[in-house]
Structure 1
Amino acid sequence: MASKIVVVGDVNGKLSEVFGKLAALHTKQNFLFAIIAGNLFADPDTATDDDNQEVVKLLQGSINVPLPTYFALGRTALPAAVIEKLESDLGEVCPNLTVLGRRVSIKTSDGFRIVAVGGAHTDTTDEPMSQYSATYMDGDAAAAGKGLTDVDILLSSDWPASVRDGAKAQYTGDAPAGVQSISELCGVLRPRYHFSTSDNFYEREPLFHNGLPPRFVTRFLSLAPYGNASKQKWIYAFSLEPSAPPPQSLPQGITASPFTAPRKRKLDSQESDFNNYRYANGNGAETHYERDRGHGKRRRAQPPPKPDQCYFCLSNENCETHMVASIGTDVYLTIAKGPLPLRTTFPSLGFPGHILLIPLEHAPTTSAIEDADARQSTVTEMQRYRSAMQSMLVERSKGEDGRSQLGTVTWEISRGGGVHLHWQFMPVPVDLIQRGLVEAAFDVEAENSSYPKFAKKIQDMEAAEEGDFLKVMIWSEALRKEMVLPLDKSFRFDLQFGRRVMGKLLGLETRTHWKDCPQTQVEEQADAEAFKKAFMTFDFSLEGQE
């Protein structure tokens, strides 16, 4: 059964006032417990006589704490008298008032799991830190959540890094600098609520975490101080059921979690309207002009979308998340918009099988990913996903002879002037690969289009990949083949080239362009769910999840 909980921001020593207000609210609302998410006491270095007197009154029992209340450490040191009382009374200041400490995980008597990381972040310290020190290190954040995969409430004095990425909600003034270890903690714990404090109130749109549906949803709120001049929200009440399962349907306005893949560079905030590049099935707009389909005239192309307009960036609030199939550390999978194959094209699968492999980092090419480690891990994970999907196809398409009836074709358009790197992955009947018809189809179509010849020797392919290129990877259990088409300004390359080749090969010429293959959202979601179900046992991103 759901219970009412109330959370308060920085109290900063106004103990009588805040607990008096809580008592009045508690009489009407009957809260199960309260949480002080910020500084309960005034900073000892700047405390006034009135502030010090408030501490004395609290310790003497002259201030009534009306209900069980947990308080975070906050970012300022605790008064010496309070620390002495905590140490002698095992973390309790007075009846109903208990500290949460620098790093702690507790389960209340009513079954609520609360994790807290209090204090200001520090990289190094010359002094040993007690459990009541108002500082913490990255190791403390990691230790606080050790062994847990989801909690009811997470408290942190610092904001998680990247929390505003992909959010429409704006913070008034300069937002607090985030801390990466808190981001990683939130990504691991998948809390239902994450509270912090700041000079102004901030509530982010809900975010969902990677995993099998139903997915965990986190709401991040940062409360303003009590008595703030602009009268921003310093108190927040809500109802919560302990350890309740994730929601069956995602709430309105939800975004993907910016914590799914800890990055050395932040993901860019993304708030723009829909644009066709999300499913263009190429990798960028034409450099100068683009021919109107079916009209034979030219129009000036729109400039390539910036990161805040890119629908391949998963944290974009308008991203069609119902099509996302798996989210790894550096890469995610989504079913293709307007897939080339039909559900009936490969009956053994039960879904079209046209999948996009998309790096989380916004970059037009692999080489454009600036961080060398991120670049290597992205390539490694794309190959790992490709291999996992190939294994899935083998499993699902075995014939009576025990051999797979399907192989795969994967192609990549890599152009420095593109938008967001991705690979397209498709099943193909294995006999077309074994008879060399897939390779021949790409060769013939390139010749018919007056394109250069495909490079097929290792040295030639490596040379071609130093510039812009189309790369085709053909795979079956018995045959592997790669071929690279160099792209330059001497000819106009058709971004639908890969689809055109495969469409002709599979007798699906009328489906060459994704816009000619519309599906309803219900159909798209059904295809995504069918793929996820088939891919589940091969999906390494789910390893270690409950």
Structure 2
Amino acid sequence: MTDKQKTLLCGDVNGNFLTLFSRVESIVKKSGPFDVLLCVGNFFGDDNSQLDAYKMGYRKVPVTTYVFGPSKSEHCQYYCEEGAEIVPNVVYMGKRGIFTTSADVKIAYLSGMSRRELGKDLPMCTFEPSDCSSIRDSCFRSQSEYRGVDLLITTLWPSGIQEDENQKIDVEQDILSDLVAWLAMHIKPRYHVVPSPNKFYERQPYRNLSIHQDYREGPTRFLGLAPVGNKNKEKWIYACSLQPVSKMRMTDILQATTDETTCPFDPELLKQHQPGKVVKFSGNGQYFYNMDAQDDDHGKRKRKGGDNPEKKRREFDPDSCWFCLSSPTVEKHLVICVGTHCYLALPKGPLTPDHVLILPITHHQSLTRAPDDVAAEIKKFKDALRKLYTSLGKLVVFFERNYKTSHMQIQCVPVPKGCDAQILEVFQDEAGIHSVQIEVLPPYSDIKQVTLPGAPYFHAELPSGEQIFAKTKQHFPLQFGRDVLSTPDILNCEDKADWRQCLLSRDQEDQYVADFRQKFRPFDFTAEDGSDSD
């Protein structure tokens, strides 16, 4: 396909330039031209005389080649300025950064060893925590949604990657890094490629973790490439065609594979916004832990709640909930108004500027588990929102997904008046696509009468008064409600079906909240006591 970048990657070159470029030339003759060659390990070696033929023009580099590094202090002298050519068609990219190719493939890279291990007088071939933070921030900058990067290239291996139950891999401790594991967990590369000291290693894809309980991330494929021309004939060059993640459908990015494994890294690393609190050192990496956590005799974090980890998982921590209003993690700038038992807030990645959420102030999993006073105030919010949307010449669809969520969220989405007759049909069509069995309930039905408290479900209230109910099972589409409402027949914004594709900046969120608060003011029963939600 024309929208894919044909890419070659190789391990440590170690000065074996003739072996490398001769092999690349034969691959090009057999398979056609490639766009780039990425040298993920040491480019230079003890003897670099083979490069003279390319400097003098007697030989030509067949594919545009990108070099990273250095990773050894004795190689620093051979590198030129970042962005310049070492020889024609071989570009030095520096020790860390992120760049996007002409085909829109995004590549992040971090070369060298940890400065903690080698000392502070060798800055060119070392890296530190701030380098990891800088790369992470560059990946996220100026993006309304973050999908990950296409490639991550590092000299060191991420700690934990060697823990592979499907195959045994012996990795020296001095090439394992917790800093690299932190970086990989945060930027979520589709491919993570490293140089391997001796053997080729291809790990089964692992599924990345998310800080959001109901948010699915894409997988990462990890490769360790052997040195160029190694005597054991281990694989040292790898070819692939990369479709840029920026041009892929979310369903393709998130697609599972039959050989997929769980994420091998310490989940605690994902909670560290900055890799700054170093409490334990291992090899070339750092461990990051909650500084308030107690240590046992071996320096490991103790679990609260005794020795039974299952019991700990079942306990609810209100401080970790994204929607409990008393939680330190709640984004209070999104709150529009607060009632006695519930509050109104702007969702992340709204379908329209007037798309809002009704949420309970304290922790309730679903409407079926909410006390009567909470349910009664939810009804008052719905009635007030219907009046608001009517004044704006719109109808409203309410829906709730009690599946892979911990805190009840009722989505309130205004829709054009002209589409009311098609909404049920579109829900049914979408259900058929996903093999979801939906039931149409008559108006004024009570959801508590058709399902058990705590049982997973999807429920929607349509402008006609009809209600849609589905008992959710494994693999239920998490964006089912948004998929329906974003279709051309309703809101015509299919690019917003996934909330991650339409995230707003903080300034935009503040503006949306202020605008909706102003529109809602005439219908806001929470201000009847004279209080002002501003």
TM-score, normalised relative to structure 2: 0.51
Match of 2:87 among 89, 94, 110: 94
Q: CA deviation at 1:61?
A: 3.4
Which residue in 2 is equivalent to 1:173? 170
The change in CA–CA distance for 1:188 and 1:543 in structure 2 (over 3 A counts) is: farther
Match of 2:473 among 514, 523, 533: 523
The change in CA–CA distance for 1:189 and 1:7 in structure 2 (over 3 A counts) is: same
In 2, Cα distance between equivalents of 1:79 and 1:527: 52
Match of 1:431 among 367, 372, 390: 372
CA-to-aligned-CA distance 1:500-546 (integer Å, 9 cap, x gap):
xxxxxx899999999xxxxx997333385569999x9999xx99899
Q: Secondary structure at the match of 2:476?
A: helix
The change in CA–CA distance for 1:158 and 1:60 in structure 2 (over 3 A counts) is: same
In 2, Cα distance between equivalents of 1:507 and 1:240: 50
CA-to-aligned-CA distance 1:385-418 (integer Å, 9 cap, x gap):
65579x999469xxxxxxx9989787xxxxxxxx
Equivalences for 1:352-501 in 2 at 5 Å?
365-366=304-305, 379=317, 381-382=319-320, 394=342, 427-431=368-372
Q: CA deviation at 1:105?
A: 1.7
- Residues 9, 234 of structure 1: 8 Å contact kept: yes
Whichever residue aligns with residue 66 of structure 2, its letter is: Y
Which residue in 2 is equivalent to 1:34? 37
In 1, Cα distance between equivalents of 2:95 and 2:125: 7
Unaligned runs of 5+ in 1: 266-328, 331-360, 397-403, 411-423, 435-474, 476-505, 515-519
Which residue in 2 is equivalent to 1:185? 183
- Residues 190, 218 of structure 1: 8 Å contact kept: yes
The change in CA–CA distance for 1:82 and 1:61 in structure 2 (over 3 A counts) is: farther
Match of 2:26 among 18, 24, 27: 24
- Say whether residues 1:158 and 2:156 are aligned partners: yes
Equivalences for 1:9-20 in 2 at 5 Å?
9-20=11-22
The change in CA–CA distance for 1:511 and 1:184 in structure 2 (over 3 A counts) is: closer
Which residue in 1 is equivalent to 2:121? 127
Q: Secondary structure at the match of 1:525?
A: coil
Q: CA deviation at 1:3?
A: 2.3
The change in CA–CA distance for 1:90 and 1:32 in structure 2 (over 3 A counts) is: closer
Match of 1:262 among 268, 276, 279: 268
- Residues 366, 379 of structure 1: 8 Å contact kept: no
- Residues 8, 234 of structure 1: 8 Å contact kept: yes
CA-to-aligned-CA distance 1:35-90 (integer Å, 9 cap, x gap):
11111111xxxx2xxx242243443334421110012215324646623xx14x95
Which residue in 2 is equivalent to 1:322? none
Whichever residue aligns with residue 4 of structure 1, its letter is: K
In 2, Cα distance between equivalents of 1:190 and 1:10: 24
| % identical aligned pairs | 22
- Residues 73, 102 of structure 1: 8 Å contact kept: yes
- Residues 98, 139 of structure 2: 8 Å contact kept: no
The change in CA–CA distance for 1:117 and 1:526 in structure 2 (over 3 A counts) is: same
Q: CA deviation at 1:380?
A: 6.1
Q: Secondary structure at the match of 1:173?
A: coil
Whichever residue aligns with residue 37 of structure 1, its letter is: V
Whichever residue aligns with residue 320 of structure 2, its letter is: M
In 1, Cα distance between equivalents of 2:181 and 2:196: 17
The change in CA–CA distance for 1:409 and 1:188 in structure 2 (over 3 A counts) is: closer
Which residue in 2 is equivalent to 1:198? 196
The change in CA–CA distance for 1:217 and 1:21 in structure 2 (over 3 A counts) is: same
In 2, Cα distance between equivalents of 1:17 and 1:65: 12
Whichever residue aligns with residue 134 of structure 1, its letter is: C
The change in CA–CA distance for 1:427 and 1:155 in structure 2 (over 3 A counts) is: same
- Say whether residues 1:56 and 2:59 are aligned partners: no
The change in CA–CA distance for 1:11 and 1:382 in structure 2 (over 3 A counts) is: same
The change in CA–CA distance for 1:126 and 1:379 in structure 2 (over 3 A counts) is: same
Q: CA deviation at 1:16?
A: 0.7
CA-to-aligned-CA distance 1:183-202 (integer Å, 9 cap, x gap):
22222322221111112222
Whichever residue aligns with residue 38 of structure 1, its letter is: G
Which residue in 2 is equivalent to 1:105? 98
- Say whether residues 1:207 and 2:206 are aligned partners: yes
The change in CA–CA distance for 1:527 and 1:214 in structure 2 (over 3 A counts) is: closer
CA-to-aligned-CA distance 1:186-228 (integer Å, 9 cap, x gap):
2232222111111222222223333687743322211111233
The change in CA–CA distance for 1:527 and 1:109 in structure 2 (over 3 A counts) is: closer
